[in-house]
Structure formats: C-alpha cells, structure tokens
Structure 1
Amino acid sequence: MVELVEVEDESFETKQAGPSDEEDEYTDTDSEISTDDEDNVPDEETLADRIYALRDIIPPTTRSYISNKVDTTTSWIKSGLSFSGKTLWVISTSALMLGVPWALAFAEEQQMVEMEKEMRMRESGQELLNQGTTAGALNSQLNAQTGKPAL
C-alpha cells in the first residue's frame, strides 16, 4: 500500500515582507474615503477602444489573416457595386435613348392604322348610304312606271 507523506517547504514557513500590523500607520478617516459619486462614474471607454484592446489577445498571424480577408471582401464588394452601378447606367441610358423613340414611333404608327381603319369604315358607310339612295330612287322610278305608289 502507498503511504502519503506531507513535505513542508521552508519558503512557506518564513513570513513574507509586507505592511506591519501597527495601527499608527493606517488610519481610516472620512477624508480618505471616496464618495459614491466617484465610484459610480463609468470609464469613458468606447466600443472602439474595447475592440482595439483585443489586438493584444489575438496573435499577429491571426490578425494579419483577418485583415487580409476583410480587405479582400471589401475590395470584392466595392468592385461588385461599381460594376452593377455601371451596368445599371448603361441599361437605363440605352432604354431611354432607344426605347423612348421606338415607343413614340410605335404609338404614332398605331394612330395612323386607326385613322386608316376609320377612313375605310367611313367610305364603306358612305357607299351603303349611296346604294340606299340610288336603290330608293330606282324603286321610285320603277313604281312610277308601273303606276304603283312608292312605299
């Protein structure tokens, strides 16, 4: 069976140097006690200060890796936004320069087609009216020759 024996170190037995236990040196008075107002004042530390303090915790290689990734991502985002802005500009100006005149010409062509259709309808209506009057005149002439009264 194993038997444990406690071995005491000599450095633990000696007293450490520190303040003496004399009461004359330390006095607790109201003038030395801080007020509550001083204790409740928060440090003027911002979020940026806290993040900047993290640089001591993160190793330099990891910091450079993160920095490179952030720079690369930022560059890609800037390039993408720039490209999409230029593309949007080209599309919108092309639509304005080509689309608007085409739409105006198309609307004018539709108007012309409608006017032609209306003219044809008027002509055909006029022909029907002319046929009706000539037919009526022919009927009256026939009735006059046969001696029948016109209806």
Structure 2
Amino acid sequence: MVKITPVSVTDEQTTDVPYDERDEDYSDISDSGSEVSDFEDDENDIASETLTDRIIALKDIVPPQYRPMFSDAYGKAQNALEWSFKAAWVVTTSVMFLAAPFALVANSNMESSAAQMGMRQMQEANEIIAPGAN
C-alpha cells in the first residue's frame, strides 16, 4: 500500500540560501565519458532493429485500457480484407468462365456477319455492273 504525504511548496532551507551557495552532493555525476558510450550503444541498437521490432514497440504508446479496442479493430479489418480478396477471386474467375465463351461466340458471329455483309456488297456491286445477269 502506498502512503501519500503532502509536501509544502516552500522549503525553508533552500529559500534562505542562494542557489550558488547550497551544499548539495554531486557525487553521482562523473566526467568519465560514459554518456558518449551510451549514445553509441543506442545507435547500435537502433541500427539492429527491424521494422517488426519497431511496430511491436508501438503497442507501448497505446494505454492498456484501449489495447483490446485496437486489437478488435485490427482483427475486423483483417477479416474484411481477407473476405474482399476472396470475393474478388470469385468474381474474377466467374467473369472469366462466363465472359470468355461469350466473347468467342460474339467474335465468331461478327466474323460470319462480316462475311455475309461482304457477300451482299459483292452481289450489289455485280448488280450495278451487270444488271439482270443472274
């Protein structure tokens, strides 16, 4: 159990003494250059991270009470995307099975109608050149 104790805003010891004259212990500060090596270690860690590691680390940004909501939304979006891919596959294959034979039949009808039209034009040309020659 945590016990909370109120702290006053003014501290009598520090308000009477100017900042420069305060006696504080700075023994934890060292000039050994460890800060530089920490920075280099961070650069090495960042260089070895993968995109997956960075995406997984993003979960720490979202507060814990909202994580199930985002997880559910991601699951629904993933299911909708999978369903849309399946629907697109069904529609595409159905169109191919139905439209391909129709296109072949339409093409053959066009060829035969073009041949018939050519025959009519030849007959009309023959009648113009030599009327009643049949």
Alignment TM-score, normalising by the size of structure 2: 0.56
- Mapped pair 1:108 → 2:112: yes
Aligned to 1:82: 86
Gaps of 5+ in 2: 1-9, 14-24
Q: Which structure 1 segments of 5+ residues have no match?
A: 9-15, 20-27, 131-151
RMSD: 3.7
AA aligned opposite 1:106:
M
Provide, for residues 69-101 of structure 1, a one-character-per-residue CA deviation record: whole Å limited to 9, x for no partner. Answer: 011011111211221221122123322111211
Q: Deviations over 1:119-142 (max 9, x none)?
A: 2321442237x7xxxxxxxxxxxx
- Say if 2:67 is the partner of 1:63: yes
- Paired residue type of 1:64: P
> Considering only CA atoms, is the larger Rg found in Structure 1 or Structure 2?
1
The 5-angstrom pairing of residues 10-49 of structure 1 reads 40-41=40-41, 42-43=44-45, 44-49=48-53
Write the letter of the residue equivalent to 2:115. Q
CA drift at 1:52 = 3.0
TM-fit CA distance, 1:55: 3.5
Secondary structure, in 3 states, of the residue corresponding to 1:81? helix
In percent, how many aligned pairs have the same letter? 18
1:139 is aligned to: none
Distance in 2 between residues matched to 1:124 and 1:59, nearest whole Å:
90
Instruction: Tell me the distance in 1 between the aligned counterparts of 2:88 and 2:94.
Output: 10
